[in-house]
């Protein structure tokens, strides 16, 4: 690629025809590349090997034993670092795990960790998560370390190489996310072209009748393979796991990168178009419901006729330059334009399962610009080694909504066990109007000091954060700044053991009351608040097995719904305190046998509330115990055949902060198999996964409830040309 070649221009909005053209271009590119290869060429991506402090764009921490997880990941201003050297609890999933579990969204991946639970099921409106008992919206997911760029509904994984989970308040590492969630953060790392050419075509099936295809092409060019191109094109359509539904997705992504002498650059672009008919709904229970209801059919739709169209366009770029062998400067910037249009039915379910069903329109758009820049340098003062970093972050977001309610006269009686079709809205559907602007920026300074031959690592830092919320007219409704400290300590008594502790504080956005008639104060905004975390833990690398233990306490201002007649008063005057214990183990425990196991114990209490109401009660939607166990085994009697299984358990939870409705626990089992071989000299991988083997029907509970996904069969066949 010559210096005169231009980076591709990303249109503001791809219509289906341009999207098809983009995928068609990918196919043409693949065909040319395939003809250039020898028929017997190995098209597998080789493992990327990096040092402990990986600075190069596209460089990743090495995979750990078994290949399902990596040794570390990116931590924003702290750099990309081996997990044994950081005073935090992190989990870093690889593309190998993503492919073998046939994961489609972030939720499919992160649920492998007992500390992380998706709050929706496959086929729902979108993904939200719970990390250490705190809600983390999908919109707070990061992309290559930048927050605010990802779709608000769900993140497709076809362009993703790694999924990184940082537990605990994460605003110090990467700056504040759009809603400043504190339970943790999830970051998607884009795919990069490897040194060995890749042309992979995958066909997929998901029961009942959803078919798809995915083309993944990677090439490197230049005398030293400095230039890389990675293209992904996806098309899926069909019923999926909701009766009489349709889940359609078209996606095209492009990743460019340059890795030269002391200079690294990347550009990523994504355009996706989704259309879901009869998505899995969310419901609420009336305050008079005191006994859990039997879940309805997990293949049904409580609101027949729901419709969702969601679009996302995103582009981001990053540049890193080594000033010398000790100092690196970097900068990145990204822009995204996302929107969705949906029918938004509502109904409050009574004890017998009946409810009054009304229909509404609830449409949204968001335009976000995110950026960060910084400098990192290493120097010594006597026997102390320093890694000093100075960084700035910026997030600017404009959002708009259109919400209209159907007439009360059009409401119909329905039941979760015998749902009726949605009534009409009988109102014009207008374009979403600008509702507000969010401006966030921060400056951080952090120093990691290595003492006693790197046996003791001390990290101290400060981040000055500012939040400014503006109304639709551009007038500031509140603006607040705060300095948040961070201190972390890692002690290595022996080479393979790290004992760590940390303290972090963060500024979080105040809540905003939902803009609907459930609340007596719709749209009311509350000022920013502060959160605090204390954590201690031990990590041990046994060579083939990694184990981690963490104990933490997080305190943050809490949102509380106070009943006022038949409505609710949205309040932000409480305090939530979560204490927990996490146990994690993963690796290749024996030759050909890979394991992942985790357990989380959480004590989430309301410790302060207006008037003292419900103080001491358990927080709604937070389970006391969660467990995960997964095995992946290469069978010795059939070369190329691997079997896997996974058990996921979540204990009972309270639906409300009054603790009057206790939702039952649930356990789900998944199984799978894959077979790798060669056909006509081409590597082929066949995969089959069966989720929820026993077709268990269960409730997933947060501030709302939804029905878990039914037994779902997923098949795929991949061939490397």
Share of the chain above pLDDT 90, in %: 69
Buried-state track 118-140, b at ≥16 Cβ within 10 A, e below 16: bbbbbbbbbbbbbbbbbbbbbbb
- The arithmetic mean of pLDDT across residues 392-406, rounded, is 92
- The arithmetic mean of pLDDT across residues 165-189, rounded, is 86
The CA distance from 372 to 318, in Å, is: 9
- Residues 6 or more apart whose CB falls under 8 angstroms from that of 633 comprise 592, 593, 594, 642, 643, 644
List the one residue out of 361, 346, 342, 239 whose CA is nearest residue 303.
346
- The arithmetic mean of pLDDT across residues 654-671, rounded, is 95
- The arithmetic mean of pLDDT across residues 678-696, rounded, is 96
Share of the chain above pLDDT 70, in %: 92
Q: Is the pLDDT of residue 306 over 80?
A: yes
Q: Is the pLDDT of residue 1 over 60?
A: no
- The arithmetic mean of pLDDT across residues 665-694, rounded, is 97
Q: Which residue has the higher pLDDT, 480 or 495?
A: 495
Task: Return the CA Rg of the chain.
Answer: 25
Looking at residue 613, its pLDDT comes to 81
Looking at residue 58, its pLDDT comes to 57
Q: Is the pLDDT of residue 660 over 90?
A: yes
The CA distance from 525 to 571, in Å, is: 10
Q: Is the pLDDT of residue 647 over 80?
A: yes
Query: Hey, CA dihedral for 507, 93, 501, 486, is it positive or negative?
Result: negative
- The arithmetic mean of pLDDT across residues 218-240, rounded, is 95
What are 274's strand-pairing partners? 249, 310
Looking at residue 14, its pLDDT comes to 34
What are 451's strand-pairing partners? 456
Looking at residue 431, its pLDDT comes to 92
Q: Is the pLDDT of residue 33 over 50?
A: no
List the one residue out of 118, 117, 115, 61 whose CA is nearest residue 93.
61
Q: How many CA atoms lie within 13 A of 236 on its CB side?
A: 27
Q: Is there a cis peptide before residue 619, judged by omega within 30 degrees of 0?
A: no
- The arithmetic mean of pLDDT across residues 384-397, rounded, is 96
Looking at residue 702, its pLDDT comes to 85
Looking at residue 122, its pLDDT comes to 84
- The arithmetic mean of pLDDT across residues 282-295, rounded, is 92
Looking at residue 18, its pLDDT comes to 37
The CA distance from 158 to 460, in Å, is: 37
- Residues 6 or more apart whose CB falls under 8 angstroms from that of 250 comprise 16, 19, 20, 23, 234, 235, 272, 273, 274
State the SS3 of 128-172.
EEEECCEEEEHHHCEECCEECCCCCCCCECCCEEEEEEEECCCHH
The CA distance from 426 to 433, in Å, is: 20
Q: Is the pLDDT of residue 151 over 90?
A: no
Q: Which residue has the higher pLDDT, 199 or 427?
A: 199
Range scoring the smallest mean pLDDT among 193-202, 486-495, 552-561, 637-646: 552-561
Q: Which residue has the higher pLDDT, 562 or 181?
A: 181
Q: Is the pLDDT of residue 527 over 90?
A: no
Looking at residue 573, its pLDDT comes to 72
- Residues 6 or more apart whose CB falls under 8 angstroms from that of 611 comprise none
The helix/strand count (H/E) of the chain reads as 4, 40
Q: Is the pLDDT of residue 163 over 90?
A: yes
Query: pLDDT tens digits for 336-346?
Result: 999 999 998 88
The CA distance from 408 to 429, in Å, is: 17
- Residues 6 or more apart whose CB falls under 8 angstroms from that of 22 comprise 14, 233, 252, 271
List the one residue out of 259, 256, 251, 258 whose CA is nearest residue 268.
256
The CA distance from 649 to 109, in Å, is: 16
Name the strand (E) or helix (H) holding 567: strand 567-590
The CA distance from 590 to 593, in Å, is: 5
Band (418; pLDDT cuts 50, 70, 90): very high
CA dihedral 246, 137, 59, 585 (to 10 degrees): -100
3-class DSSP state for residue 286?
coil
- Residues 6 or more apart whose CB falls under 8 angstroms from that of 104 comprise 122, 156, 157
Band (75; pLDDT cuts 50, 70, 90): very high
Mean pLDDT of the chain: 88
The CA distance from 59 to 51, in Å, is: 9
- The arithmetic mean of pLDDT across residues 215-233, rounded, is 96
Looking at residue 35, its pLDDT comes to 32
Band (670; pLDDT cuts 50, 70, 90): very high
Q: Is the pLDDT of residue 401 over 80?
A: yes
Name the strand (E) or helix (H) holding 21: helix 16-36
Band (23; pLDDT cuts 50, 70, 90): very low
Band (169; pLDDT cuts 50, 70, 90): confident
- The arithmetic mean of pLDDT across residues 35-39, rounded, is 33
Q: Is the pLDDT of residue 255 over 60?
A: yes
- Residues 6 or more apart whose CB falls under 8 angstroms from that of 99 comprise 685, 687, 718
Q: Is the pLDDT of residue 48 over 60?
A: no
- DSSP letter (8 states) at residue 85: G
The CA distance from 132 to 203, in Å, is: 36
- Residues 6 or more apart whose CB falls under 8 angstroms from that of 406 comprise 358, 359, 360, 423, 424, 425, 426, 427
- Catalogue the long-range contacts made by 644-649 (C-beta closer than 8 Å, 24 or more residues apart): 644/100, 644/101, 644/671, 644/672, 644/673, 644/674, 645/669, 645/670, 645/671, 645/672, 646/112, 646/670, 646/671, 648/111, 649/625
Looking at residue 477, its pLDDT comes to 80
List the one residue out of 571, 569, 462 whose CA is nearest residue 510.
571
Q: Which residue has the higher pLDDT, 560 or 329?
A: 329
- The arithmetic mean of pLDDT across residues 458-462, rounded, is 96
Range scoring the smallest mean pLDDT among 104-113, 371-380, 390-399, 557-566: 557-566
- Residues 6 or more apart whose CB falls under 8 angstroms from that of 90 comprise 72, 73, 75, 83, 164, 165, 166, 167
CATH architecture, range 16-344+360-405+428-720:
Beta Barrel (2.40)
Looking at residue 691, its pLDDT comes to 96
Cβ-contact 306, 275 below 8 angstroms: no
The CA distance from 516 to 526, in Å, is: 17
Q: Is the pLDDT of residue 600 over 90?
A: yes
Cβ-contact 410, 424 below 8 angstroms: yes
Buried-state track 4-16, b at ≥16 Cβ within 10 A, e below 16: eeeeeebeeebee
The CA distance from 395 to 367, in Å, is: 11
Band (553; pLDDT cuts 50, 70, 90): very high
Q: Where are the alpha helices (DSSP H) in 41-143?
A: 95-100, 106-110
Range scoring the smallest mean pLDDT among 353-367, 383-397, 431-445, 567-581: 567-581
The CA distance from 546 to 497, in Å, is: 10
Q: Is the pLDDT of residue 638 over 50?
A: yes
- How many angstroms separate the Cα of 22 from the Cα of each of 190, 271, 476, 660? 18, 10, 41, 53
């Amino acid at each position: 690629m010559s210096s005169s070649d231009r980076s591709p221009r990303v249109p503001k909005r791809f219509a289906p025809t341009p999207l098809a053209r983009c995928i068609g271009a990918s196919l043409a590119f693949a065909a040319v590349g395939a003809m250039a290869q020898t028929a017997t060429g190995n098209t597998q991506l080789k493992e990327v090997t990096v040092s402990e402090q990986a600075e190069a764009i596209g460089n990743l921490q090495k995979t750990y034993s078994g290949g399902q997880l990596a040794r570390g990941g990116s931590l924003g201003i702290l750099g990309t670092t081996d997990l044994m050297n950081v005073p935090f609890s992190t989990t870093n999933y690889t593309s190998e795990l993503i492919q073998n579990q046939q994961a489609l969204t972030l939720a499919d991946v992160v649920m492998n960790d007992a500390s992380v639970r998706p709050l929706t099921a496959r086929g729902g409106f979108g993904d939200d998560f719970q990390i250490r008992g705190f809600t983390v919206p999908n919109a707070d997911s990061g992309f290559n370390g930048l927050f605010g760029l990802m779709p608000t509904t769900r993140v497709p994984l076809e362009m993703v190489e790694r999924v990184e989970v940082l537990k605990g308040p994460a605003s110090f590492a990467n700056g504040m996310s759009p809603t400043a969630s504190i339970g943790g953060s999830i970051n998607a790392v884009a795919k990069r072209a490897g040194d060995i050419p890749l042309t992979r075509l995958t066909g997929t099936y998901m029961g009942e009748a959803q078919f798809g295809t995915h083309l993944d092409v990677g090439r490197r060019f230049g005398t030293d393979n400095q230039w890389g191109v990675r293209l992904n094109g996806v098309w899926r359509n069909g019923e999926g796991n909701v009766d009489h539904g349709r889940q359609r997705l078209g996606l095209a992504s492009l990743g460019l990168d340059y890795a030269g002498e002391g200079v690294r650059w990347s550009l990523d672009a994504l355009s996706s178009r989704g259309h879901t008919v009869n998505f899995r709904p969310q419901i609420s229970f009336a305050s008079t419901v005191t006994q859990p209801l039997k879940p309805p059919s997990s293949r049904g739709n409580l609101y027949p006729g729901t419709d969702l169209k969601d679009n996302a366009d995103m582009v981001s770029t990053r540049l890193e330059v080594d000033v010398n062998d000790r100092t690196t400067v970097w900068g990145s910037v990204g822009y995204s334009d996302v929107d969705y249009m949906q029918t938004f039915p509502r109904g409050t379910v009574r004890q017998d399962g009946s409810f009054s069903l009304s229909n509404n329109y609830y449409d949204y758009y968001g335009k976000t610009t995110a950026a960060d820049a910084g400098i990192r340098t290493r120097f010594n003062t006597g026997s102390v080694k320093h890694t000093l970093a100075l960084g700035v972050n910026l997030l600017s977001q404009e959002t708009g909504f259109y919400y209209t309610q159907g007439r009360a006269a059009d409401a119909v009686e329905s039941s979760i066990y015998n749902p009726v079709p949605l009534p009409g809205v009988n109102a014009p559907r207008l374009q979403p109007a600008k509702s507000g602007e969010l401006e966030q920026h921060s400056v951080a300074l952090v120093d990691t000091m290595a003492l006693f031959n790197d046996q003791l690592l001390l990290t101290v830092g400060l981040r000055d954060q500012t939040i400014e919320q503006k109304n639709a007219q551009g007038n500031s409704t509140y603006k607040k700044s705060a300095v948040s400290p961070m201190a972390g300590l890692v002690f290595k008594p022996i080479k393979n053991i790290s004992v760590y502790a940390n303290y972090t504080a963060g500024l979080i956005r105040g809540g905003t009351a939902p803009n609907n008639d459930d609340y007596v104060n719709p749209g009311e905004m509350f000022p920013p608040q502060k959160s605090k975390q204390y954590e201690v833990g031990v990590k041990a690398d046994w060579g083939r097995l990694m184990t981690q233990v963490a104990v933490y306490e997080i305190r943050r201002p809490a949102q509380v719904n106070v009943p006022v007649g038949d409505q609710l008063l949205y309040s932000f005057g409480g305090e939530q305190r979560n204490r927990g214990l996490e146990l994690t183990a993963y690796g290749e425990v024996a030759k050909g046998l890979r394991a992942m196991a985790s357990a989380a114990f959480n004590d989430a209490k309301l410790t302060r509330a207006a008037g003292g109401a419900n103080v001491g009660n358990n927080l709604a939607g937070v389970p006391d115990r969660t467990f995960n166990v997964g095995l992946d085994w290469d069978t010795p009697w059939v070369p190329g055949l691997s079997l896997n299984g996974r058990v996921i358990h979540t204990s009972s939870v309270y639906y409300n902060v009054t603790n009057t409705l206790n939702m039952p626990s649930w356990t789900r089992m998944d199984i799978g198999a894959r077979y790798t071989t060669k056909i006509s000299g081409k590597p082929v991988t066949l995969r089959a996964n069966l989720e929820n083997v026993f077709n268990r029907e269960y409730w997933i509970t947060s501030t709302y409830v939804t029905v878990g996904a039914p037994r779902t069969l997923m098949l795929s066949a991949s061939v490397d040309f």
